[in-house]
């Protein structure tokens, strides 16, 4: 029986859970002996002109070896926007010396012998800033009264799509429109960012940093520092979560390398949680307007989504996120007409990057809210409206009006499975009972049906990935992958794939990643791409290794290669029909290195889909929500290891519920962050979550031989709108139409109050 | 996230603590559980010159009943940790609201470090145990160079992070009237289970007065200190219904605004939580 599809326990966990793995900040590499510690001096002002940076007192402080400012970095070109469609004048200084554009912007680098000395000395760097009015929020940015880059003449960094034709909703019997805030959230990985660097006598720099793809991070740092990529060796130690915010490199990582060069000593840095909450990329941050129109029978005829994406101060991946939102705007629906348009605006805030789902959750949240608004307007059951409008089941590619080509899908079946598992009719009956009785705790039932895109090019790297599989003479095997696990369990999964084809037991297979000398190419782990590309590459490499072994074994066994088959028990090859006559892969490796390096290229991305039902109880006197059930159908094609897939789903649900109910990064009107510690940023915990009810559904994709679609982000994409819809559903009978996320108790309470006063 | 440099002294007795306080002067701070002090030191909002660690004083952690009958007092050592109070059998029997409230403070880590003396001395208006103590009545026992003195809880918390304690004194004990089976209710409103209260209401006592005294209500996070809902208490004493009296709970309060709640919503919560706490107290009586 194949090991694939079974709940293999994560082989990496004993290390993580007992001794603790080696994260960047734990490194004891001897090359880092005597490393100086970096403390960054960051702007406390959101927008302003720097009048002076005085380092003299800091230089006298105990343990201070150097304080690096912009004047020490004049040989580095500033960081370009990195997107061809963004104005060339939108550049980021390595260390600000002229204008600061967000609280947290880098101004100076303090290098001390001891980490403790750094914070004391950093406080002594005196930065005098003449404040300018701050641009906070997309509406203020769009007014262009205060400009982040006066030379550019506008805060609009990019614009995509055209306005909807004026008659877009002509002929619709019902049209509903709503402004929706898809709020800014912080990724909050358990491991904050960290980096270390040392230059060798050969002129090469070795950089260790916490990231989601060593190869891309290396290329970015090399290009920023003007180095030939061959001079950069980047190593990714264990990584404690990234959620998209660790894609590529951050300027801090390159700065660590640069200051190591300046001081001629190894250097290391590890940020605090407060530094992380302002210094690391944030996610989401879209202001949306949805308009939906159709017939009174529930048929939607036209849907429009207009997005204002907050980019933060300097362009990062946030600049392209709305293109994914636009691509997926119509979701699972066969709406006759879909329109989407977006602007990307610069503001005096932390830059926006990818965050679990990256552009797709924003699309799903918008359309799932719109469908609910439409159903509410018609007085129809939201499940019925969904059933009426979803794209019928298909198993050959379906191209949407936004230009996405969905591989396989059966959305109505996903919805029905979720509703059945939830006991939808009973829930509605219970809801009616509580409404009738005027209970304090009202029941809300929220639905979402989603389709998303995983393993796309662009944001997720190339749609291809490489893998190397080598069997050693001692019977062990090594797998090298261009993917970059940071919690997902690739070591287990990739070993399962190799073991399945070679018969080599899991414990004899080592999976390596994240060292650019060892693995020069790789796309990293992001966009839920890893199994469908990286896993598929391991599968292909192991398959090719078997073919290579057959050729070599055929001579030895004096058999025809076609007559040789893998003998799992032997971990080698045997002659078909002649049991006992065989040779192990290890024996073949003893004669000649047995190694295959290969690249798997997918024909295209895959489109995982599913349906979530969230049940909440809302205390209508206080406005507080409790999530009591979360039922999820997440169809990610063929499942390699249900345990790993469940883990991805669980984490995704938690983050989705967190966005719907709790989390929001806030700034005051001067651009000061007010959620820069975990005392203020309401990170979700297990006590706020129910036990999840997982429903299985697996529709294989033809896009890779494993039949696998991505599962890393689906949980978030589905659960966020289902939770928001549930909260609103709980108080809909009181006249509430919409509540923005996070649906805090105060917001829910106010929405009820306003609805009762006839407003909303 | 690293505190500014400080001196560190570990003491083994209250006398040692007091002489260390005298020696190091006003910039020194006592360190108990550290769960209020260390976070603000890490943010450099507090920069004490010296920390005098009292967590090793063995005989500061206890719960015992003194006296009997209607005058019985439950005495709690200032070094008693929240989790110790939460599990203490004597406290559960004699003044059950306190162990319940101790169990609602923060998360298990916080409860295993934080002390009742620390939370009392810190005078954060959002803290749970002081709210319960204020509703229960009783005294804070201070010890200083001049010996021991008792300050009624109604006079102890004088302002935001301010108390009636002088810098050369420390909290050594909390004394609370025994409530036994008297009704009580505690309503803590949070967005997450482990959070500080956005607002909390503690109610204890009974309409007829009797063993546990008349109905009293204390509120957390509705002003610069924890405070009593006196208008509610007076209305109850005058015969108003719980619903009527609870409507007055926010009178005399001056709640602040933050990202979780503005002042008006806090006032609403104070009224709602007071009603619920009183209903629980009445139901259990
Ligand atoms: C994450 C987190 C969540 C929390 N959640 C809650 C919550 O939900 N509700 C709540 O009420 N509290 C909460 N707390 C606070 C917690 O209860 C603290 O432990 C308590 O407020 C302070 O007690 P401590 O023993 O830790 O005091 P410390 O932090 O050691 O000291 C606090 C102050 O009191 C002084 N002090 C300490 N002991 C004495 C003494 N015997 N005499 C005189 N002065 C003294 C110190 O000098 C210092 O100024 C939370 C804390 C954290 C870190």
Residue A165, domain member (yes or no): no
Same domain flag for A356 and A421: yes
B153-190: burial string, b at 16+ Cβ within 10 Å, e else: beebbeeebebebeebbbbbbbbbbbbeebbbbbbbbb
Over chain A, what is the mean pLDDT?
A: 96
Encoded tokens for A509: 């297979």
Q: Which of A236, A270, A304 is the last residue of a domain?
A: A270
- For residue A82, the cross-strand partners are none
Indicate the domain borders of chain B.
7-53, 58-177, 184-284
- ipTM of predicted assembly, 2 dp: 0.95
Q: Which of A601, A617, A652 is the last residue of a domain?
A: A601
Q: How far is CA A179 from CA A292, A311, A623, A741, A759, in A?
A: 12, 19, 22, 12, 16
Percentage with pLDDT > 90 across chain A = 95
Ligand 1 centroid from CA B112, angstroms: 11
Of residues A605, A660, A666, the one with CA closest to residue A637: A605
Same domain flag for A589 and A609: no
B184-284 falls under which CATH superfamily? CO dehydrogenase flavoprotein, C-terminal domain (3.30.390.50)
Does B269 contact A685 at a Cβ distance shorter than 8 Å? no
Looking at residue A759, what is its pLDDT?
Answer: 55
Looking at residue A460, what is its pLDDT?
Answer: 43
Same domain flag for A447 and A304: yes
Residue A401, domain member (yes or no): yes
Same domain flag for A527 and A383: no
Distant-in-sequence contacts of B227-233, Cβ < 8 A, 24+ apart:
B227/B125, B227/B134, B227/B252, B227/B253, B228/B134, B228/B135, B228/B154, B229/B201, B229/B253, B229/B270, B229/B274, B232/B274, B232/B278
Looking at residue A577, what is its pLDDT?
Answer: 83
Reported as a pLDDT band with limits 50, 70 and 90, residue B25 is confident
**Whether the domain at B7-53 and the domain at B184-284 fall into the same CATH topology:** no
A319 CB-near residues (< 8 Å, 6+ apart): A81, A83, A86, A157, A158, A309, A311, A344
Residue A164, domain member (yes or no): no
Same domain flag for A615 and A750: yes
Residue A359, domain member (yes or no): yes
For residue A746, the chain B residues in CB contact (below 8 A) are 260-262, 265
Report the largest interatomic distance among the alpha carbons of chain A, rounded to a whole angstrom. 89
A439 CB neighbour count, 10 Å cutoff:
14
Q: What is the DSSP letter of A534?
A: I
Looking at residue A708, what is its pLDDT?
Answer: 97
Q: Is the distance from the beta carbon of residue B253 to the nearest atom of ligand 1 less than 6 Å? A: no
Reported as a pLDDT band with limits 50, 70 and 90, residue A681 is very high
Q: What is the DSSP string of A180-193?
A: EEEEEE----SS--
Looking at residue A459, what is its pLDDT?
Answer: 42
Query: Is 80 exceeded by the pLDDT of residue B208?
Result: no
Looking at residue A463, what is its pLDDT?
Answer: 83
Rounded to an integer, what distance in angstroms lies between the CA atom of residue B73 and that of residue B94? 9
For residue A749, the chain B residues in CB contact (below 8 A) are 265, 268
Q: Class of B58-177 per CATH?
A: alpha beta
Same domain flag for A396 and A289: yes
Give the number of domains in chain A: 4
Does A119 contact B261 at a Cβ distance shorter than 8 Å? no
Residue A142, domain member (yes or no): no
Model pLDDT for residues A322-335, shown as the tens digit of each residue: 999 999 999 999 99
Domain residue limits at A519: 456-601
Model pLDDT for residues A601-645, shown as the tens digit of each residue: 998 899 999 999 999 999 999 999 999 999 999 999 999 999 999
Rounded to the nearest 10°, the torsion over CA A455, A460, A465, A470 is -100
Which residue blocks in A328-423 are alpha helix, DSSP H? 360-378, 382-389, 411-422
Looking at residue A343, what is its pLDDT?
Answer: 98
Looking at residue A162, what is its pLDDT?
Answer: 97
Same domain flag for A682 and A639: yes
Looking at residue A760, what is its pLDDT?
Answer: 46
User: Per-residue pLDDT averaged across A723-737, rounded?
Assistant: 98
Looking at residue B51, what is its pLDDT?
Answer: 97
Query: Is 90 exceeded by the pLDDT of residue B213?
Result: no
Residue A8, domain member (yes or no): yes
User: Do you find a cis peptide bond into A742, omega within 30 degrees of 0?
Assistant: yes
Does A687 contact B272 at a Cβ distance shorter than 8 Å? no
CATH architecture of B7-53: 2-Layer Sandwich (3.30)
Reported as a pLDDT band with limits 50, 70 and 90, residue B211 is low
Query: Is 80 exceeded by the pLDDT of residue B248?
Result: yes
Same domain flag for A430 and A289: yes
User: Per-residue pLDDT averaged across A264-278, rounded?
Assistant: 97
Residue A560 belongs to domain with CATH number? 3.30.365.10
Model pLDDT for residues A476-505, shown as the tens digit of each residue: 999 999 999 999 999 999 999 999 999 999
Residue B265 touches partner A, C-beta closer than 8 Å: yes
Ligand 1 centroid from CA A673, angstroms: 26
Model pLDDT for residues B157-171, shown as the tens digit of each residue: 999 999 999 999 999
A145: exposed, middle or buried (Cβ count in 10 Å: 0-12, 13-18, 19+): exposed
Same domain flag for A246 and A127: no
How do beta strands A477-481 and A509-513 pair?
A: parallel
User: Per-residue pLDDT averaged across A504-523, rounded?
Assistant: 97
Reported as a pLDDT band with limits 50, 70 and 90, residue A758 is confident
Q: Is the distance from the beta carbon of residue B31 to the nearest atom of ligand 1 less than 6 Å? A: yes
List the end-to-end C-alpha distance of chain B, in Å, as a whole number: 48
Does A744 contact B260 at a Cβ distance shorter than 8 Å? yes
Q: What is the DSSP letter of A318?
A: G
Same domain flag for A316 and A448: yes
User: Per-residue pLDDT averaged across B132-158, rounded?
Assistant: 97
User: Per-residue pLDDT averaged across A112-132, rounded?
Assistant: 96
Residue found under tokens 């997982």? A694
Nearest protein CA to atom 12 of ligand 1, as residue? B127
Q: What angle do CA A30, A33, A35 make, to 5 degrees?
A: 135
Residue A187, domain member (yes or no): no
Rounded to an integer, what distance in angstroms lies between the CA atom of residue A613 and that of residue A500? 36
Over chain B, what is the mean pLDDT?
A: 95
Residue found under tokens 């060069």? A261
Looking at residue B16, what is its pLDDT?
Answer: 96
- Select the residue of A119, A273, A662 nearest B2 (Cβ to Cβ): A119
* Distance of residue A336 Cα from the nearest chain B Cα, in angstroms: 42
Looking at residue B70, what is its pLDDT?
Answer: 76
Q: What is the DSSP letter of A92?
A: B
Same domain flag for A371 and A381: yes
Encoded tokens for B137: 């009545």
Of residues A540, A530, A543, A546, the one with CA closest to residue A641: A530
Reported as a pLDDT band with limits 50, 70 and 90, residue B207 is confident
- Select the residue of A664, A687, A746 nearest B192 (Cβ to Cβ): A687
Residue A183, domain member (yes or no): no
Query: Is 60 exceeded by the pLDDT of residue A458?
Result: no
Testing the interface with A: which of B45, B104, B193, B269 to mutate, by most A Cβ within 10 A?
A: B269
Rounded to an integer, what distance in angstroms lies between the CA atom of residue A478 and that of residue A471? 7
B71 CB-near residues (< 8 Å, 6+ apart): none
Residue A89 belongs to domain with CATH number? 3.90.1170.50
Testing the interface with A: which of B263, B265, B276 to mutate, by most A Cβ within 10 A?
A: B265
Same domain flag for A682 and A746: yes
Rounded to the nearest 10°, the torsion over CA A675, A680, A683, A688 is -140
How do beta strands A106-112 and A64-68 pair?
A: antiparallel
Instruction: Name the pTM for this structure.
Output: 0.96
A426 CB-near residues (< 8 Å, 6+ apart): none
């Amino acid at each position: 029986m194949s090991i694939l599809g079974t709940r293999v326990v994560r082989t990496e966990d004993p290390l993580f859970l007992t001794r603790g793995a080696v994260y960047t900040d734990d490194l004891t590499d001897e090359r880092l002996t005597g490393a100086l510690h970096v403390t960054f001096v960051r702007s406390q002002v959101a927008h302003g002109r720097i009048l002076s940076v005085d380092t003299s007192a800091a230089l006298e402080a105990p343990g201070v070896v150097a304080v690096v400012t912009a004047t020490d970095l004049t040989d580095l070109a500033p960081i370009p926007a990195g997107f061809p469609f963004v104005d060339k004048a939108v550049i980021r200084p390595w260390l600000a010396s002229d204008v600061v554009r967000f609280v947290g912007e880098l101004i100076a680098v303090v290098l001390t012998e001891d980490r403790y000395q750094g914070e004391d000395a950093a406080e002594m760097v005196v930065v005098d800033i003449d404040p300018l009015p701050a641009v906070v929020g997309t509406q203020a940015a769009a007014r262009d009264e205060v400009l982040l880059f006066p030379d550019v003449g506008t805060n609009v960094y990019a614009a995509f799509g055209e306005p909807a034709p004026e008659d877009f909703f002509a002929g619709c019997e019902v049209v509903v429109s709503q402004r929706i805030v898809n709020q800014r959230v912080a990724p909050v990985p358990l491991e904050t960012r960290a980096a270390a660097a040392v230059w060798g006598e050969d002129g090469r720099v070795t950089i260790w940093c916490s990231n989601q793809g060593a190869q891309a991070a290396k290329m970015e740092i090399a290009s920023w520092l003007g180095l030939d990529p061959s001079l950069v060796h980047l190593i990714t130690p264990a990584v404690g979560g990234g959620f998209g915010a660790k894609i590529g490199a951050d300027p801090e990582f390159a700065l660590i390398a640069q200051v190591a060069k300046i001081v001629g000593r190894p250097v290391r840095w590890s940020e605090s949680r407060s530094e992380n909450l302002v210094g690391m990329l944030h996610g989401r941050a879209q202001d949306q307007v949805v308009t939906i129109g159709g017939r009174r029978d529930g048929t939607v005829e036209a849907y429009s989504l207009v997005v204002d994406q907050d980019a933060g101060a300097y362009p990062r991946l946030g600049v392209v996120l709305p293109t994914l939102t636009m691509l997926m705007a119509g979701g699972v629906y066969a709406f006759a007409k879909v329109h989407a348009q977006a602007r990307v605006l610069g503001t005096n805030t932390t830059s926006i990057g990818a965050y679990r789902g990256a552009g797709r959750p924003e699309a799903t949240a918008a359309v799932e809210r719109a469908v609910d608004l439409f159903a509410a307007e018609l007085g129809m059951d939201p499940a019925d409206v969904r059933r009426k409008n979803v794209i019928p089941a298909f198993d050959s590619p379906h191209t949407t009006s936004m230009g996405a080509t969905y591989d396989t899908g059966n959305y109505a079946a996903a919805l029905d499975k979720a509703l059945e598992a939830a006991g939808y009719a009973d829930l509605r009956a219970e809801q009616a009972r509580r409404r009738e009785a005027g209970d304090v705790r009202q029941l809300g039932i929220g639905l979402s049906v989603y389709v998303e895109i995983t393993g796309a090019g662009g944001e997720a790297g190339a749609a291809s990935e490489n893998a190397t599989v080598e069997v050693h003479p001692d019977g062990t095997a090594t797998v090298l992958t261009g993917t970059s696990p940071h919690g997902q369990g690739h070591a287990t999964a990739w070993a399962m794939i190799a073991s399945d084809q070679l018969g080599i037991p899991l414990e004899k297979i080592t999976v390596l990643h994240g060292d650019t000398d060892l693995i020069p190419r790789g796309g990293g782990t992001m966009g839920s791409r890893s199994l469908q590309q990286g896993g598929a590459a391991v599968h292909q490499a192991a398959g090719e290794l078997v073919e290579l072994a057959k050729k070599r074994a055929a001579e030895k066994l004096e058999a025809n290669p076609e007559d040789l088959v893998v003998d799992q028990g032997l971990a080698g090859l045997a002659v078909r029909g002649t049991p006992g006559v065989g040779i192990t892969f290890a024996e073949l490796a003893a004669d000649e290195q047995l190694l295959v390096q290969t690249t798997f290229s997918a024909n295209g991305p895959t489109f995982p889909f599913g349906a979530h039902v969230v049940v909440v109880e809302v205390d209508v006197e206080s406005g507080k929500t409790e999530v009591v059930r979360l039922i999820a159908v997440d169809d990610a094609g063929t499942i390699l290891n249900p345990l790993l897939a469940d883990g991805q789903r669980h984490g995704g649900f938690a983050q989705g519920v967190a966005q719907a109910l709790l989390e929001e990064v806030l700034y005051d009107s001067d651009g000061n962050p007010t959620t820069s510690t975990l005392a203020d940023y309401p990170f979700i915990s297990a006590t706020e979550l129910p036990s999840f009810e997982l429903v299985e559904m697996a529709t294989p994709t033809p896009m890779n031989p494993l039949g696998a679609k991505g599962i890393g982000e689906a949980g978030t994409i589905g659960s966020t709108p289902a939770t928001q819809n549930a909260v609103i559903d709980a108080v809909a009978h009181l006249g509430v139409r919409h509540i923005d996320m996070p649906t805090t108790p105060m917001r829910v309470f106010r929405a009820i109050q306003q609805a009762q006063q006839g407003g909303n | 996230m690293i505190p500014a440099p400080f001196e560190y002294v570990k003491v083994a007795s209250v006398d040692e603590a007091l002489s260390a306080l005298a020696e190091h002067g006003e910039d020194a701070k006592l360190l108990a559980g550290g769960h209020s002090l260390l976070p603000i030191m890490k943010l450099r909002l507090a920069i004490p010159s010296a920390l005098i660690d009292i967590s090793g004083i063995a005989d500061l952690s206890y719960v015992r009943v003194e006296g009997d009958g209607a005058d019985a007092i439950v005495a709690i050592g200032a070094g008693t940790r929240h989790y110790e109070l939460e599990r203490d059998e004597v406290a559960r029997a004699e003044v059950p609201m306190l162990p319940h409230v101790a169990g609602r403070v923060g998360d298990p880590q916080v409860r295993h470090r934080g002390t009742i003396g620390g939370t009392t001395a810190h005078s954060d208006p959002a803290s749970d145990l002081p709210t319960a103590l204020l509703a229960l009545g009783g005294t804070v026992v201070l010890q200083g160079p001049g010996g021991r003195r008792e300050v009624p809880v109604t006079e102890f918390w004088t302002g935001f992070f301010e108390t009636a304690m002088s810098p050369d004194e420390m909290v050594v004990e909390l004394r609370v009237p025994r409530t036994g089976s008297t009704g009580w209710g505690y309503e803590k409103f949070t967005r997450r289970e482990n959070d500080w209260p956005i607002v909390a209401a503690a109610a204890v006592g009974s309409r007829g007065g009797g063993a546990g005294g008349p109905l009293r209500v204390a509120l957390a996070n509705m002003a610069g200190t924890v405070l009593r809902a006196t208008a509610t208490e007076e209305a109850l004493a005058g015969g108003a219904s719980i619903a009527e009296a609870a409507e007055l709970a926010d009178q005399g309060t001056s709640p602040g605004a933050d990202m979780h709640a503005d002042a008006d919503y806090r006032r609403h919560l104070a009224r709602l939580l007071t009603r619920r706490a009183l209903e629980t107290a009445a139901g259990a009586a």
